[in-house]
Amino acid sequence: MDDVRPSDFTTGWSEPTASPSESVEELEDESLFPGVREGQLEVYQDWRVDHDPALPCPDEMVLVADNYCVDRWEGSLVELTRTGEHPYPATHRVEEHLVRAQSRPGVKPQSYISGPEAQRACEMAGKRLCTAWEWWRACAGSKKTIYPYGTMHVERRCNEERPMHPVVELYGEDAGPNIWWVEPMNNPAINEQPSTLSMTGARNKCKSEDGLFDMVGNVHEWTSDPAGTFHGGAYSGEIALGCQYITTAHGFSYHDYSTGFRCCSDPYGVPE
């Protein structure tokens, strides 16, 4: 990798892989959580606890097709430590950090995340990854449109039209083919460049009929296929197929600057 120039935006891609200050094993220590059975994590937080039974979904989710709940915004993370919850850097790898998914507007969506990491983060909130059909139906709506907002593409409606690929911009057009290897593709500096990730919900017209934001563009979104499938496309290229865009070229454990997620859930009163 000697032909890849250092990042201008960060100290390097080794930073996110540093060992967490508080390991999962430490957090699972029963003495840290009085009253919690051995092996059970108090940091698990099911949204159904104290939920209003008149509402099928929590506030941050939308009921789709009268059948299941979907996060309004692409997933972001909080890290769970002995000192409480802290926002997790959206451009850092999750790895051994103990995190929980959240869905909220006005934040950078999590990227650099694998399918199992996304699934675990959703589960820590009492949710799960969407199935492929659930994701597509939520994006296309009851009319099954190509884009979440309709049948015709509208430029700049969603975050999908960056003129230069962010990996090429970071490393330089003469950097060579090694920039497409796993390590450089996970450099946090990629998404720390200008005009990359949009804040969740910032493209307020990139919205489905059910009120779900950014289902096309911004970050790819993992679904529950154990073989590895993500949908919707990322900000680094125009997504001509809209809601039908799908990538199956990588395994479930894959991750890079473009991979993100959102969670689904059965509605209140229906067990997972």
Give how many domains the chain has, as a whole number.
Answer: 1
The tokens for 177 are: 């083919």
> Of 8-22, 48-62, 102-116, 167-181, which range is least confident?
8-22
Helix H or strand E encompassing 247: strand 246-247
Dihedral over Cα of 235, 92, 255, 97: its sign = negative
Amino acid symbol at 157: R
pLDDT in tens, 167-226: 999 999 999 999 999 999 999 999 999 999 999 999 999 999 999 999 999 999 999 999
pLDDT in tens, 40-70: 445 778 898 889 999 999 999 999 999 999 9
pTM of the model: 0.84
Domain that holds residue 131: 1-272
Question: For strand 220-222 and strand 259-260, is the pairing parallel, antiparallel, or unpaired?
Answer: parallel
DSSP code at position 150: B
The band of 272, judged by pLDDT with boundaries at 50, 70 and 90, is low
Average pLDDT estimate for 95-118: 97
| 61 and 73 Cβ atoms separated by less than 8 Å | no
Percentage of the chain modeled with pLDDT above 70: 83
The tokens for 246 are: 């799908």
Residue written as token pair 């507007």: 105
Query: CATH number of the domain that 167 lies in?
Result: 3.90.1580
Q: How far is CA 62 from CA 128, 135, 146, in A?
A: 14, 12, 20
Nearest to 122 by CA among 187, 36, 220, 47: 47
